[in-house]
């Protein structure tokens, strides 16, 4: 953990103020201020050449983020070198382009049901662009996890009615209340999103019984399992995308109710879908204006 002394060093740096240009001198000489005429030996003379070569080498090998760091070193030590600056910008564009291509490939593979290959492409996106939240969400299955489905409240819905429809058991309304804290006694308002847990209380699929102890242990199978476990979530996401596209088609055909229905199905499969929720709201507003013109 970075702490203690590091904090002091950093705090000292802050106190030293923000002035001047980089590069900075990290160490303070222990003696008096040096004579302006005296020149220190430049220990960094070979740095730009070394890191230019390294950058070329790792870029050829496909490690673009490391190559970018090396190119930034070159640029840092040669701030007036337009070529060094250009190389950094070129590589940034290359990284963005490759990340976009991998993302599109991942979506296409997912759509074709090739979850394992899609997973590999999403990982390639994150390797190039670790801040890509969409790719991270896909590999972590956030929003499309196996635990929940999503329900958008419709006219006339009650928790009991929804439980009856989803679980075939109105008495499971308490589950919906538990997972969706709602003000007591309040009516459900149309358009509210509810998270509904999957109810699966069966035994685990496979177990290994350790001798001498009733402690079943599932045996993994490397990370194939981790990928395979995502198959179901991948299927949900593909179906969600298909319903979203169908909603767009209906919307363009001016079938607003149909579009809303399709997008609600999208949300039930992928609660974190980036567009379905706002599109439903737009369609509802549009529908309201059409039905009650002033």
Partner 1 sequence: MRARGLSPLLLLSILIWGCAGPEIRPPALPPPAPPVTTAPPTTARGFPDFIVAIVRPGDSYSSLAAKYLGDRSMDWFLSEFNGNTLPAPGQDVLIPLASYAPGGLWPTGYQTVPVLTYHKLSRNGIPDAMTVREADFEAQMRFLRENGYRVLPLDDLFEFLRFRRQIPARSVVITFDDGWRSVYDIAWPILKKYGYPATLFVYTDLIVGSRETLSWDQVRELSRNGFDIEGHSKTHRYLGRRERKESFRDYFESVRKEIVESARIILKHTGREVKYLAYPYGDTNSLVAAMTRREGYRLAFTVERESVPFFSNDYRVSREMIYGTFTLKDFENNLTTFHKFGSE
165 forms part of the interface with partner 1 (CB under 8 A) = no
Closest CB to partner 1 among residues 178, 185: 178
> Which positions from 30 through 89 interact with partner 1, judged by CB under 8 A?
30-32, 34-35, 38-44, 46-47, 50-51, 61-63, 65-66, 69-70, 72-73, 76-77
Residue carrying structure tokens 């109105």: 170
Contact with partner 1 (CB under 8 A): which of 126, 134, 182, 272?
126
Could you tell me the smallest distance in angstroms from the CB atom of residue 239 to partner 1?
Answer: 18
Q: Does 275 engage in binding with partner 1 (CB under 8 A)?
A: no
Q: Which residues contact 133 (CB under 8 A, 6 or more apart)?
A: none
Closest CA to 158 of 144, 172, 147, 148: 172
> And the tokens for 239?
């179906």
CA distance 94 to 50: 22
Q: How far is the CB of 241 from partner 1 (least distance, A)?
A: 20
How many angstroms separate the first and last alpha carbons of the chain?
Answer: 63
* Cα dihedral sign, 62-67-69-72: negative
Inter-residue contact 53 to 23 (CB < 8 Å): no
x/- string (CB under 8 A) for partner 1, residues 189-208? Answer: --------xxxxxxxx---x
Question: Closest approach of Cβ 213 to partner 1, in Å?
Answer: 4
Closest to partner 1 by CB, 205 or 252: 205
- Could you give the CA distance from residue 84 to residue 76 in angstroms, rounded to a whole number? 9
Residues that bind partner 1 (rule: CB under 8 A) add up to a total of 105
Residue whose C-alpha is closest to residue 179's, from 193, 165, 194: 194
C-alpha distances out from residue 275 to 26, 30, 168, 213, 282, Å:
48, 60, 30, 50, 11
Q: In what helix (H) or strand (E) does residue 197 lie, and over which residues does it extend?
A: strand 193-197
Compute the least distance from the CB of residue 44 to partner 1, in Å. 6
Site string for partner 1, 227-256 (x = CB under 8 A): x-x---------------------------
| Residue 28 is a binding residue for partner 1 (CB under 8 A) | yes
d(CA 119, CA 100): 15
Cβ proximity to partner 1: between 46 and 86 the closer is: 46
- Compare residues 34 and 288 and give the one whose CB is closer to partner 1: 34
Q: Please select the residue that binds partner 1; options are 90, 104, 187, 225, rule is CB under 8 A.
A: 225
């Amino acid at each position: 953990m970075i702490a203690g002394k590091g904090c002091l060093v950093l705090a000292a740096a802050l106190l030293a103020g923000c002035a001047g240009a980089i590069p900075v001198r990290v160490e303070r000489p222990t003696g008096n201020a040096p004579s302006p005429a005296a020149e220190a030996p430049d220990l960094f003379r070979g740095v730009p050449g070394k890191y230019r070569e390294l950058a070329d080498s790792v870029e050829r090998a496909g490690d673009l983020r490391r190559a970018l760091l090396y190119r930034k070193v070159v640029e840092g030590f040669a701030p007036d070198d337009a070529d060094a600056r250009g190389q950094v910008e070129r590589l940034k564009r290359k990284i963005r382009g490759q990340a976009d291509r991998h993302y599109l490939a991942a979506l296409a593979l997912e759509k074709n049901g090739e979850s394992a290959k899609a997973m590999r492409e999403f990982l390639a996106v994150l390797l190039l662009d670790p801040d890509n939240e969409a790719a991270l969400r896909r590999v972590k299955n956030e929003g499309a996890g196996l635990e929940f489905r999503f329900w958008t409240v419709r006219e006339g819905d009650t928790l009991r009615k929804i439980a009856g429809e989803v679980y075939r058991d109105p008495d499971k309304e308490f589950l919906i209340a538990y997972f969706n804290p709602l003000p007591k006694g309040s009516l459900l308002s149309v358009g509210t999103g509810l998270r509904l847990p999957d109810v699966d209380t069966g035994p685990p699929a496979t177990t290994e019984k350790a001798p001498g102890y009733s402690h079943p242990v599932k045996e993994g199978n490397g990370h194939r399992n981790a990928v395979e476990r995502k198959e179901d979530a991948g299927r949900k996401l593909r179906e969600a995308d298909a319903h979203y596209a169908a909603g767009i088609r209906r919307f363009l055909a001016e079938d607003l109710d149909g579009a809303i229905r399709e997008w609600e199905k999208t949300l039930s499969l992928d609660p974190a879908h980036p567009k379905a929720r706002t599109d439903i709201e737009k369609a509802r507003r549009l529908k309201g204006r059409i039905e009650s013109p002033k």
